[in-house]
Every structure is written in C-alpha cells, then in structure tokens.
Amino acid sequence: MTILDLSEQALRSVNAELQSLNGTQSNAEYEIINPRGSHALAVGLNAPIAVKIAGSTGYYCAGMNKHATVQVAGSVGPGVAENMMSGMVVVDGDASQYAGATGHGGLLVVRGNASSRCGISMKGIDIVVQGDIGHMSAFMAQKGNLVVLGDAGDALGDSLYEARLFVRGSVASLGTDCIEKEMRQEHIDLLNDLLARAGVDADPAEFRRYGSARQLYNFHIDNAQAY
C-alpha cells in the first residue's frame, strides 16, 4: 500500500503517480490521505489498481475511470465517475449532482444519497444508489442500469433511451416518455447480479422497473406538446 498525501503532494503529482501504471496489469494499492475536497482526483486511471481516498473529494473524482477500483471514504462533489468506461467506484457517503454522468461502463456504488441528475446521459454504466436520488435523474439515459434502493425525485428518466431504471422506494414523478414496465425474471436476475456486485443486501422483488415508452424516438408533430 502506497500512501499519497495531498497535504504534501500537488494534485498533478498524485494523479501522475496513479496514471504511471496506465496500460499495465498492475494490482498496486494506494491510499490518498488529506484529499481536502480536491477536484479531479484519481481521474484518467487505466489499470486494475485499487485506490482508497481517505476523506471527501470535490468535482469529477475518478472521472473517465478504466479498470481501477476507487473507494472514497467520504462524500464526493459533482460528476463522480463521469464518463467511466470500466472498473468500480464506491462512495461511502453521499454524491452531489451528475453522479456517473455519461458513463459507458463499470459500476458506481453510492452508499448514501445521490443528488440531482444522477446517471444523466449514461451510456452503459451501472449505478447503484443505496439512498435516494434527486430530480431529473437518468435524463436522456441511453444504456446501462440505475438501481435506487431509496426514493427518486421528480422527472425520473426524462427523454429516456434504452437504460433500465429500478427503484425500490417511491418515485416523485416520471419524466417525459418514461413509463413503468413489467419486472420479468431476466430483470430479477439482472438486479440480483448488480446488488451482489455492489455488496448490497436487498430483495430484487421489491423493486419496480422503469424504461422508455419509445414514443419520442422519431419526431412526430402530434407529440410536440411533450417537448
């Protein structure tokens, strides 16, 4: 375990050390101490390394992650794991806006709550939030799975494409073109797998599934009022 101390090292130095293993199969382990809300921490990683951040971070923690496992022992600012490609990011606390935005792959787990626009424009990432999520979550979400053990705010899944949304609690309102859909066995199996990978003990049968009604995929003048 290598300790990187942000009270002594500059952000560039810490990220450069983590990125120095990019393209390798290294399983090296790091702990970043004194993160003090730093932005853009542990971004652009591209190796199966394990990074633990001892404290809360600012914007875009673990942005564009590939292969690495990043655990934040604290809360994160906006855009955690934005555009993640693969790997795993776990936030022990809460996440601010845009958690997992535009992510293409990998698994983001938020043990606390996630704020508005969680999973906005997601493109294949899986997101598991153990608490609640804010309004406009999964806006224009294209692919992947968003699992919420708590409640969802207003306009969930507005202008949704093919992402699947699973919510155990209440949904304040559904966004345009987002509807509740049947939970079939394949979805139970999918949820079982996601919850297990996220280390969450919950019964998939308690969740409801939401997806796109696919009414807005091609512009039709009769739907103009929906925009």
Partner 1 sequence: MKDHDTGTPRTEPRQSATFSNDINAEIRRAAATGIYDIRGGGAKRKVPHFDDLLFLGASISRYPLEGYREKCETAVTLGTRFASKPIELAIPITIAGMSFGSLSGPAKEALGRGASMAGTSTTTGDGGMTEEERGHSDKLVYQYLPSRYGMNPDDLRRADAIEIVVGQGAKPGGGGMLLGQKITERVAGMRDLPVGIDQRSACRHPDWTGPDDLEIKILELREITGWEKPIYIKIGGARPYYDTTLAVKAGADVVVLDGMQGGTAATQDVFIEHVGQPTLACIRPAVKALQDMGMHREVQLVVSGGIRTGADVAKALALGADAVSIGSAALIALGDNDPKWEKEYNALGTTAGAYDDWHEGRDPAGITTQDPELMARLDPIAAGRRLRNYLNVLTLEAQTIARACGKSHVHNLEPEDLCALTVEAAAMAGVPLAGTDWIPGRGGY
Asked if 142 touches partner 1 (CB under 8 A), the answer is yes
Residues 153-172 binding partner 1 (CB under 8 A) are 161-162
Asked if 25 touches partner 1 (CB under 8 A), the answer is no
E-strand spans in 35-190?
50-54, 69-72, 88-91, 107-110, 123-129, 143-148, 164-167, 178-181
- Nearest to partner 1 of 161, 207 (CB atom): 161
Please tell me the number of Cα atoms within 13 Å of 6 on its side-chain side: 24
CB 110 within 8 A of CB 131: yes
CA separation for the pair 150, 200 (Å, rounded): 13
| 4, 51, 53, 101: which one binds partner 1 (CB under 8 A) | 101
Mask for 47-86, x = binds partner 1 (CB under 8 A): -----------xxx--xx-x-----------xx--xx-x-
178-181/143-148 β-pairing: unpaired
Element (DSSP H or E) covering residue 18: helix 11-19
Which residues of this chain interact with partner 1, rule CB under 8 A? 11-12, 15-16, 19, 39-40, 43-44, 46, 58-60, 63-64, 66, 78-79, 82-83, 85, 97-98, 101-102, 104, 117, 120-121, 123-124, 139-140, 142-143, 161-162, 217-219, 221
